[in-house]
Amino acid sequence: MRFWFQTDKTGDRSRVEKLTLAGLFVAAAILLSGVHFPMGPTRCYPFQHTVNVLAGAFLGPWWAAGVAFITSVIRNMTGMGTLFAFPGSIPGAIAAGLAFKFFSRPVSALAEPLGTGPVGAALSALLLGPAMGKPVGFFTLQTAFLISSIPGALLGMGILHIFQKAPFSRVLRGR
C-alpha cells in the first residue's frame, strides 16, 4: 500500500501538493513543540518524530528531511530548540522515508528511531558536541534521542494504521 498521492503520469504528487503538505507538517511540528522535555544538553520533542514518520510516508525521504530541517531552523530561531535538533531529526526522517519507499507498510515507521538513535547520536557526538564545547558521549545522546523517538514513531505508526483502515484512505492514496 502506498501512502502518498499518485496524481500525475509518473505516479508522484505535484510539487505544489508536496510543498503544501510539507508546510502543514512543519506547522504541526511547531505547534506541537509545547510538548518537550530536557534531556542533558538536548530538548526532546516526541511529536517531531511523529511528523517525521508521517512526512516520510506521505512525501518520501528527501521531503521529510526538508520538513525536519525547516522545523529545526524555526525552533532554533525562536529559541525553542538546540543545535542538536538537526542531527536529532533529519536522519530519522530520511530513514523513515526510505523504509516507506521500499516497504510501504505502517511498521516501516520503526525505522525512524534507527536513524535518529545511532546515526543522529553519532553525528551529534562527533560533530556538534566538540563544536559547541560540550563534549557529550554517544550513549548519552543515543539514550536521549531514543527516549524521544520511539514513542513518537509508535504514535506515527498508529496514525498511519488508522489512515490505512479508514474509509477516506482512498483519498490519501489519490484514488
pLDDT for res 1: 43
Please write the tens of the pLDDT for every residue from 140-168: 888 888 988 999 999 999 998 888 887 66
DSSP string, 46-99: HHHHHHHHHHHHHH-HHHHHHHHHHHHHHHHHTTS--TTHHHHHHHHHHHHHHH
CA gap 156, 106 in Å, rounded: 8
- Binning pLDDT at 50, 70 and 90, where does residue 52 land? very high
Of 26, 147, 32, which is closest to residue 93 (Cα–Cα)? 26
Query: What stretch of H or E contains 147?
Result: helix 138-165
Residue 174 has pLDDT above 60, yes or no: no
pTM of structure: 0.84
What does each C-alpha distance from 112 to 29, 65, 92, 117 come to in angstroms? 16, 12, 4, 8
CATH class of 15-170: mainly alpha
